Amino acid sequence: MTPAIRQYLVITGNYWAFTLTDGALRMLVVLHFHQLGYSPLDIALLFIFYEFFGVVTNLVGGYLGARMGLNRTMNIGLFLQIAALGMLAVPAAMLTVPWVMAAQALSGIAKDLNKMSAKSGIKLLVPDEQQGTLYKWVAILTGSKNTLKGVGFFLGGVLLMAVGFKGAVVSMAVILGLVWLASLSLLGQDLGKSKAKPKFREILSKSRAINVLSAARMCLFGARDVWFVVALPVYLHTVFDWDFWQVGGFMASWIIGYGFIQTVAPRITGHQQGRSSAVLWASSLALMPAAIAIGLMVGWPPKVVVIGGLLLFGVLFAINSSLHSYLIVSYARGDGVSLDVGFYYMSNAAGRLLGTVLSGWMYQSYGLEACLWVSAALVALAAILSLRLPERSTVTV
């Protein structure tokens, strides 16, 4: 086993462990506070700082990764997630809205430090001429992460029913603490540390390709989260009368399937990875939420329309996401890669922030159909933006 593969496995293992807790925590917060009587908009507001600090963390985290090394930023992310879980393990009377928002802010910082470090680290482990290998490694990391996030959703629902909210967060904090201790000794020192110390003003990208791709990514993830974060779990619980483990199970299945499609995306998209592929797949995706909304408006069976439609949406979204994840790592510079990747995932976090706010507000005010129409419009905008991306050379997949 080569040193590069060993480091890839350590990075992936860290990312997997973190993702399990992140997915479980999101489902725990949504279902627990819905159970306490919070409105969809109130629940969405609990995640505002999570997403807002994700924007800030990605922007500044890329700079820190280039200055400090990606091993340090990844380990800091793991530690902050343990601290966030600990904050939520307090007595129920202390779980006020400001306290939960602060814990979510810490979790948002942790999540995006971890993601930025993992995605940037892969760029440094694969020679630049091996673009096919890079695409596969990014697809495997991204897809497996989302599969485990789906498992985390299911785990969150099960833990809430089995041991309650406090028991769930305590058990996750203990397990993640063991992972953090292992990472401190196993992860390579100074991974991704820039040879030329970057200046703080360099956190903003000067590359047209990265700026365009970042804008498209913001629209893409806003389109997902406008229905996925708050609207869909509440809809399944209130309209379909599903209990918590059923809601968690469906959300988990969606993410697991989505993650699997991401891992095989290189086989689906073929050899050409650039503007034409990004436009094609985004255009196809934009049709799905519009079709689901139309199906609900004309009175087709809601379970068939929503469940079937969102499963198809998941397939197309996974291909778009995997293609974008490869393109940013490929477009990024070699020295100081975390600066470009951090800027890109800042836009990703901005899209999630937009989608989270819209998810609670649109669903509470206008229903699931409105969320789906907004989703279709955002994906269409992502396709239009992708027209300005440069083409990449053909790569072997």
Task: Please say whether the dihedral angle defined by the alpha carbons of residues 383, 387, 389 and 391, taken in this order, is positive or negative.
Answer: positive
Assigned token pair, 346: 């800042």
* Residue 353 near residue 220, CB atoms below 8 Å: no
Q: What angle do CA 64, 70, 72 make, to 5 degrees?
A: 80
Assigned token pair, 254: 């969606």
Q: Please give the pLDDT value at position 395.
A: 38
Burial 227-240 (b: 16+ CB within 10 A, else e): bbbbbbbbbbbeee
Query: What is the largest distance, in Å, between two alpha-carbon atoms of the chain?
Result: 61
Q: Domain spanning 3-386: which CATH class is it, in words? A: mainly alpha
Q: Please give the pLDDT value at position 124.
A: 63
Phi/psi of residue 333, nearest 5 degrees: -65, 160
Q: Which H or E run includes 163?
A: none
On the question of pLDDT at 279 being above 60, the answer is yes
77-81, 164-168, 219-223, 338-342, range with the lowest pLDDT: 338-342
Nearest-CA neighbor of 152 among 78, 254, 77?
A: 254
Q: Which H or E run includes 37?
A: none
Q: Please give the pLDDT value at position 393.
A: 42
Assigned token pair, 5: 């593969």
Q: Please give the pLDDT value at position 306.
A: 92
- pTM across the whole model: 0.70
* Residue 396 near residue 273, CB atoms below 8 Å: no
Kindly tell me the burial class for residue 49, based on how many C-beta atoms sit within 10 Å of its own C-beta (0-12, 13-18, 19 or more): buried
Q: Which residue has the higher pLDDT, 108 or 298?
A: 298
Using DSSP's 3-state secondary structure scheme, residue 128 falls into coil
Nearest-CA neighbor of 159 among 37, 244, 243?
A: 244
Length of the chain: 397
Q: Give the C-alpha distances (Å, rounded to integers) separating 126 from 61, 131, 135, 136, 366.
A: 22, 8, 10, 11, 48
DSSP state of 395: -
Q: What is the CA radius of gyration of the chain?
A: 20
Q: How far apart are CA 37 and CA 171, in angstroms?
A: 25
Count the alpha carbons within 13 Å of 386 in the hemisphere toward its beta carbon.
29
Q: What is the mean pLDDT of residues 142-164?
A: 80
Q: Which residue has the higher pLDDT, 146 or 89?
A: 89
Q: Please give the pLDDT value at position 343.
A: 76
Please, what is the average pLDDT of the chain? 81
4-18, 125-139, 246-260, range with the lowest pLDDT: 125-139
- pLDDT bracket for residue 380 (50, 70, 90): very high
124-128, 172-176, 359-363, 378-382, range with the lowest pLDDT: 124-128
* Residue 109 near residue 124, CB atoms below 8 Å: no
Q: What is the mean pLDDT of residues 51-70?
A: 74
Q: How far apart are CA 301 and CA 314, in angstroms?
A: 20
Q: Please give the pLDDT value at position 271.
A: 59
On the question of pLDDT at 134 being above 90, the answer is no
pLDDT tens digits, one per residue of 161-209: 888 888 989 999 999 999 899 888 877 666 655 555 555 555 555 677 8
On the question of pLDDT at 397 being above 50, the answer is no
- pLDDT bracket for residue 56 (50, 70, 90): confident
Count the alpha carbons within 13 Å of 191 in the hemisphere toward its beta carbon.
28
Q: What is the mean pLDDT of residues 8-18?
A: 80
Q: Please give the pLDDT value at position 41.
A: 72
pLDDT tens digits, one per residue of 301-346: 999 999 999 889 989 998 998 888 778 777 766 555 666 777 777 8
- pLDDT bracket for residue 86 (50, 70, 90): very high
